[in-house]
Amino acid sequence: MSIATLIRNADLYAPEHVGHRDILVAGGKIIALADRLEPNIPGMETIDAAGRAVTPGLIDQHIHVTGGGGEGGWASRCPELNFSSLVKGGVTSFLGVSGTDSMSRSIENLLAKVRGLTVEGASGWMWTSNYAYPATTITGSAKMDIFTIPECLGVKIALGDHRASFPTPDEVLKLLAEIRVAGMLTGKTGFLHIHCGDWGDDIFDPIEYAIRRGIPAKHMRPTHVARHPHVFDRACAFARAGGYIDITTGGGCYQGTAADALFAALEKDVPLERITFSSDGQGSMPRFNEAGEMVGFGVGSINCDLEAIRLLADKLGLEKALKPMTTTIASALGLKGKGRVEVGADADLLIFGKELSLEEVFMKGRQVMSEGKVVVKGAFEE
């Protein structure tokens, strides 16, 4: 790894469109931005962006890094995520999450995987627990996981899903109260990351119940909100009232694509700054018939994040297309130094070619993709 890297002739999207800039990176940080830089640093590497778009790396808050699935029996457990998948997807920061399997997919394993991917070069955090209630934790309590584990930003729960544990509104309220106190004590805010199933319009009842009893909406983060019309309508109302909603890029949107869902939300007067994207990558993609029986399954890919951004960019422009996975999510989760290209920020950078083909990736200043090829792989990748 070079001591410093100078990226010349970038068409910078920070994600705001800044235009021509040189970018100087050292120590994993962006240390200078200017129309023209002439640093004299021994051992510095220079890369000519040649007018290509340079953007922040993507932040994906919902990846099953230890593998999801299992709903179809022993052979249906999805494989773990490898580091190269993050690189190819342009995802430089992520949150690991568990799913249906609260028995063979431990939270301890989740934490270890998050730390492993971070050692390999990415920036990683996690949600403790899974679909189960009471919360499945490492320390024995949700608030202590947030308090004692630096990577733990909050707790996952599932609502409106036949695989969930059907917690009552009062149980959700008590869990939120624990999360809020732990967030206050740690400076993390503390979040309840809510898997929204497709069982109609009662998913937001516990959320609204908690808000009426004094829990701020900033602690509640519903995801998969575009899989059911009733869920989507109430999610949009929640966002208009000041909450954040998360649309899954990896399929399941009843409108079609994640981009279609975002446009539908905008038509319902949801501010763009209240919408985030995540992939559900490496999770199981089960298919059920009308009787609730699983009839097939697949594995989610994080490459759908880039596909969603390309679709958005065609209609909204690249600046706005980037926001759900850069500035908005970084601000929503309090991830300092992430989601922006500015002096002092982490040097998580993407360089795009024609038709937004991903050509170069930097994670904390380290180049991990060059000319469209992964040049830094995980420990057990060939």
Q: Average pLDDT in the 55-74 region?
A: 93
Q: Average pLDDT in the 353-362 region?
A: 98
- Residue bearing tokens 């778009």: 53
- Please tell me the pTM assigned to this model: 0.96
> Contact 4/41 with Cβ under 8 angstroms?
yes
- Residue bearing tokens 């149980």: 171
How distant is the alpha carbon of residue 77 from its chain centre? 22
Q: Which is catalytic among the residues 60, 101, 280, 348?
A: 280
Considering only CA atoms, which of 108, 217, 220 is closest in space to residue 159? 220
Q: 66 versus 251: which is more confidently predicted? A: 66
pLDDT digits (tens, 9 = 90+) for 222-243: 999 999 999 999 999 999 999 9
pLDDT digits (tens, 9 = 90+) for 249-298: 998 899 999 999 999 999 999 999 999 999 999 987 767 788 877 777 77
Which amino acid is residue 87, in one-letter code? V
How high is the pLDDT of residue 259?
98
Cis amide bond preceding 134, omega within 30: yes
Considering only CA atoms, which of 127, 219, 149 is closest in space to residue 181? 219
Residues that constitute the known binding site for substrate: 69-71, 100, 131, 163, 227, 284
Q: Is 280 a known active-site residue?
A: yes
Considering only CA atoms, which of 145, 325, 217 is closest in space to residue 194? 217
Q: Residue 209: exposed, middle, or buried by beta-carbon count in 10 A (0-12, 13-18, 19+)? A: middle
Q: 134 versus 74: which is more confidently predicted? A: 134
SS3 357: coil
Give me the helix-helix angle, 258-267 and 229-240, nearest 10°: 50
Residues that constitute the known binding site for Zn(2+): 62, 64, 156, 195, 224, 280
Q: Average pLDDT in the 140-167 region?
A: 96
Q: 71 versus 27: which is more confidently predicted? A: 27
How high is the pLDDT of residue 281?
96
User: Residue 105: is its pLDDT beyond 80?
Assistant: yes
Q: What is the DSSP string of 260-296?
A: HHHHHHHHTT--GGGEEEE--BTSB--EE-TTS-EEE
Q: Average pLDDT in the 13-31 region?
A: 98
1 confidence band (pLDDT: 50, 70, 90): low
Q: Structural domains in the chain? A: 4-56+339-374 (2.30.40.10), 58-333 (3.20.20.140)
Provide the percentage of residues in the chain whose pLDDT is more than 70. 99
Residues that constitute the known binding site: 62, 64, 69-71, 100, 131, 156, 163, 195, 224, 227, 280, 284
Residue 274 makes CB contacts below 8 A (sequence gap 6+) with 239, 240, 242, 243, 244, 245, 328
How high is the pLDDT of residue 69?
85
Q: 365 versus 296: which is more confidently predicted? A: 365
